[in-house]
Chains A and B, each alone.
Chain A
Amino acid sequence: MAYSGRARESYQNELANLRDQGLFKEERYIHAPQGAEIEVEFPTGNPPRKVINMCANNYLGLSSHPEVVAAAHAGLDHRGYGMSSVRFICGTQDIHRELENKLTEFLGTEDTLLFPSCMDANAGVFEAVLSEQDVMIADRLVHASIVDGMRLCKAMQDTFKHSDMGHLEEKLVEHQDKRFRMVITDGVFSMDGDIARLDAIVALAEKHDAMVFVDDSHASGFIGKTGRGTHEHCGVVGRMDVITTTLGKALGGASGGCVSGRRELVEMCRQRARPYLFSNTVAPVIVSGALKVLDLISATTERRDKLETNTVYWRKLLTDAGFDIKPGESPIVPVMLYNAKLAQDVARDLFAEGIYVVGFFFPVVAKGQARIRTQLSAAHEKHHLDAAIAAFVKVGKKYGILGLGKNQIIEKYGL
Chain B
Amino acid sequence: MDELKKAIRDYVVKEYLEEGDDRQVGEDTPLITGGIVDSFSMVSLKRFLERKYSIQIPDAEATPQAFDTVNSIAALVTRFTKG
Contact = CB atoms under 8 A, between A and B. Distances in A.
Whether A associates with B in a native complex is yes
A159 B41 contact: yes
Nearest to A138: B40
B34 interface: yes
B41 A362 contact: no
Nearest to A151: B40
B35 A162 contact: no
Given A161-B18, A162-B18, A140 B35 contact: no
B7 interface: no
A162 B41 CA distance: 11
Contacts of A368: 35
Interface residues of A, number: 13
A158 B43 contact: yes
B35 A362 contact: yes
Contact of B41 (A140, A164, A367): A140
Interface string A155-193: 001110110100000000000000000000000000000
B54 interface: no
Given A161-B18, A162-B18, A140 B34 contact: no
B44 interface: yes
A177 to B, nearest CB: 12
A122 to B, nearest CB: 14
The interface centre, meaning the residue of A157, A362, A366 with most chain B CB atoms within 10 A of its CB, is: A157
Interface in B6-50: 16, 18-19, 34-35, 38, 40-41, 43-44, 47
Contact of A147 (B16, B34, B35, B40): B40
Interface string A133-165: 000001010000001000000000111011010
A255 to B, nearest CB: 26
A147 B42 CA distance: 13
B51 to A, nearest CB: 10
B34 A159 contact: no
Interface size class of B (residues with CB under 8 A): 10 to 19
Given A161-B18, A162-B18, A367 B44 contact: no
B35 A159 contact: no
Interface string A364-394: 0011100000000000000000000000000
Nearest to A159: B41
Contact of A158 (B16, B34, B44): B44
Nearest to A144: B40
A157 B43 contact: yes
Contacts of B40: 138, 140, 147, 159
Contacts of B47: 158
B44 A159 contact: yes
Interface string A346-377: 00000000000000001000111000000000
A185 B18 CA distance: 18
Contacts of A366: 35
A162 B38 CA distance: 13
B75 to A, nearest CB: 24
Nearest to A367: B35
Contacts of B34: 367
Contacts of B41: 140, 159
A138 B18 CA distance: 16
A406 to B, nearest CB: 12
Nearest to A166: B19
Interface string B42-79: 01100100000000000000000000000000000000
A365 to B, nearest CB: 10
A330 B47 CA distance: 36
B80 to A, nearest CB: 20
A229 to B, nearest CB: 24
A76 B76 CA distance: 60
A362 B38 CA distance: 12
Contacts of B18: 161-162, 164
Nearest to B40: A147
Contacts of B44: 158-159
19 contacts: A138-B40, A140-B38, A140-B40, A140-B41, A157-B43, A158-B43, A158-B44, A158-B47, A159-B40, A159-B41, A159-B44, A161-B16, A161-B18, A164-B18, A164-B19, A362-B35, A366-B35, A367-B34, A368-B35
Given A158-B47, A159-B43, 15 more contacts: A138-B40, A140-B38, A147-B40, A158-B44, A159-B40, A159-B41, A159-B44, A161-B16, A161-B18, A164-B18, A362-B35, A366-B35, A367-B34, A367-B35, A368-B35
Interface of A: 138, 140, 147, 157-159, 161-162, 164, 362, 366-368
